[in-house]
A and B are shown apart, each in its own frame.
Chain A
Amino acid sequence: MIEIKNLSKTFHTAGGDVEALKDIDLRIEDGDIFGIIGLSGAGKSTLVRCMNLLEVPSEGRVLVDGKELTALPPRELRKARQSISMIFQGFNLLMQRTALDNICFPLELAGVKKQEARNRAKELLELVELPDKADAYPVQLSGGQKQRVAIARALASNPRVLLCDEATSALDPKTTRAILELLRKLNRELGVTVVVITHEMRVVEQICNRVAILDGGQIRETGPVSQVFSNPRSEAGRRLVLPEGEKIHVLPENRLVRLVFDGAAAAEPIVARLASKEGILLNILSADTHSLAGKTYGSMVLGLPQDETDAARALLYLRDIPGVTAEEVTELVC
């Protein structure tokens, strides 16, 4: 379990102080695949580097499995880092070592005997599906293969946590899917907690169970992916999840309602039923569907009738449908 309490990070630069992170509180449970999503400059990389103290927080505490990293002396911090592995956008393999020797590297650091380390490295190459690349140098590998080697290297020390800093951002979509699939497999089979830093929604959609939205150095929203992505509550969340959502100001007499419905309800002809059963005509202003973790979510913005009683009845009806959340909104963002 990773607990971040009241964490802030300020960089002192020549151009003045930059507050990269402000009052972050975050809790990542064991076995989670936790996404941290935000646009560039949001502070994602700084936040993930605070989890293994590559960046030292200006304020606040970081606890991993109950051990307070921020209070550890250097030697013990280095020891603790062996159970918090990290992979990177740029792979960061040792260019002068073979794939196998790269995987042996953390074992060497930990003082594991050479033959034992090599055997373990070979097992890990099997696990990441690259058994025939043991003697290849990084330059001879493709991006996806390099990241697989980096993942194997990260797993060598049997970590409890795997931090992924934009680990798929340098890869093409197909390779990205394969690497994410591998991360999910490792999470399932080894029980390693995975923290995924990304700017891409589809990465979070594909593997994460929980997500936090980071914007301007602050966590704006956190929760299960299905909830946050289908029905973002924060301004930053809406901007991220509904990127094309331009704000269209509608005439003030039109009350708007935003519906979010999950896979089961998505099949229901809600608007048609309202018309035929209740005789209430609604105006569909926008509609969209998203696919999250294999489930379909729909969202829709409806214009309520101008008649107050009709509008109230329509709202009541909509709120009664199972699997549907209806909320009044003032802006048309879908």
Chain B
Amino acid sequence: MFAETELDLLQKIIQQGLLGALGETLLMTFVPTILAFVIGLPLGVLLVTGEEGGIHPLPRWVMTSLNFIINILRSVPFLILLIVVLPLSRILVGTTVGTKAILAPLVIAAFPFVARLVETSIREVDAGVVEAAQSMGASTLQIVCKVLIPEARPSLISNFMVALITIFGYGAMAGAVGGGGIGRIAVNYGYNRYKPLVMYFAVVLLIILVQLFQSIGNVLVKRSDRRIR
């Protein structure tokens, strides 16, 4: 079905570059997800606590601008954002190609999305529990650190996996503009050089990884949620 040379090529790729590509893919997934949470978690919390009637209302213009910026960043298609942000990568990591170059655009694309995910998780926390904490004299920071985030933990873990898989998808897409990882194998060999076998192989590998992430995520959520008997 496939030409002999294509099988040889696949074998060569598996032997020489696969492990490295897998490593790159994992790097391009976990590092930006974690960084996106470092930025997105406080922002998501702020979206809830800072609103009118929240536990620490902020001036309306602050909230409006924050929402506006998040919405703008979320509306730009990832590929375009990627190209626009690449000059920033040159400043930060000195190159616009390869795995490292793709990290900054990934974080910038992901953190507004993560902020919204965190916002929904935090909103799920029962207002009564927050009120109870206030009645005990908790400060805003104590409520955030001891009530909102711990109570939203299962939902946050679940949303972390959603973000991880989305960023994983972005990372694979970045293969088209010089990003590394398994996405690049799929794009370079499979798409550009028209080697369908390699492409299918890469896609199947991506599917397996997504399934794996999701399953691990489900187990973690279940384990962490004390509302399940």
Contact = CB atoms under 8 A, between A and B. Distances in A.
Quick one: which of A77, A90, A94 has the most chain B CB within 10 A? Answer: A94
Contact of A109 (B126, B131, B137, B229): B137
A109 B137 CA distance: 8
Contact of A78 (B128, B138, B151, B225): B138
Given A54-B135, A95-B126, A96-B225, 12 more contacts: A81-B135, A90-B126, A90-B128, A92-B131, A94-B150, A95-B226, A96-B150, A96-B154, A96-B226, A108-B146, A109-B146, A150-B132
B137 A81 contact: yes
Interface majority SS (helix, strand, loop, mixed), chain B = helix
A52 interface: yes
A102 to B, nearest CB: 10
A82 to B, nearest CB: 5
- Which of B126, B136, B146, B154 neighbours the largest number of chain A CB atoms within 10 Å of its CB? B136
A204 B225 CA distance: 38
A81 B153 contact: no
A105 B146 CA distance: 9
Given A108-B146, A137-B226, A96 B138 contact: no
Contacts of A97: 150, 226
Contact of B137 (A79, A90, A94, A150): A79
Interface of B: 126, 128-129, 131-139, 142, 146-147, 150-151, 153-154, 225-229
A46 B142 CA distance: 25
Interface string A107-120: 01110000000000
B157 to A, nearest CB: 12
The 3 A-B residue pairs with the shortest CB-CB distance in the complex, in nearest-first order = A81-B137, A92-B132, A78-B137
A52 to B, nearest CB: 6
* Tier of interface size on chain A: 20 to 34
Contacts of A106: 136-137
Given A88-B128, A96-B153, A54 B134 contact: yes
Interface of A: 52, 54, 77-82, 84-86, 88, 90, 92-98, 105-106, 108-110, 137-140, 150, 157, 163
A109 B147 CA distance: 11
Contacts of A79: 137
Nearest to B126: A92
B135 A94 contact: no
Main secondary structure of the interface of A (DSSP, over half): mixed
A97 B132 CA distance: 14
Contacts of B150: 94, 96-97
A47 B227 CA distance: 32
Contacts of A90: 126, 128
A5 to B, nearest CB: 22
Contacts of B126: 90, 92, 95
A138 to B, nearest CB: 8
Contacts of B132: 86, 88, 92-93, 150
Nearest to B135: A86
26 contacts: A52-B135, A54-B134, A78-B138, A78-B139, A80-B137, A81-B134, A88-B132, A92-B129, A92-B131, A94-B151, A95-B126, A95-B227, A96-B150, A96-B154, A96-B226, A97-B150, A105-B136, A105-B146, A109-B133, A109-B136, A109-B142, A110-B137, A137-B227, A139-B226, A140-B229, A157-B136
A95 B135 contact: no
B158 to A, nearest CB: 14
A150 B128 CA distance: 12
Contact of B129 (A86, A94, A98, A108): A94
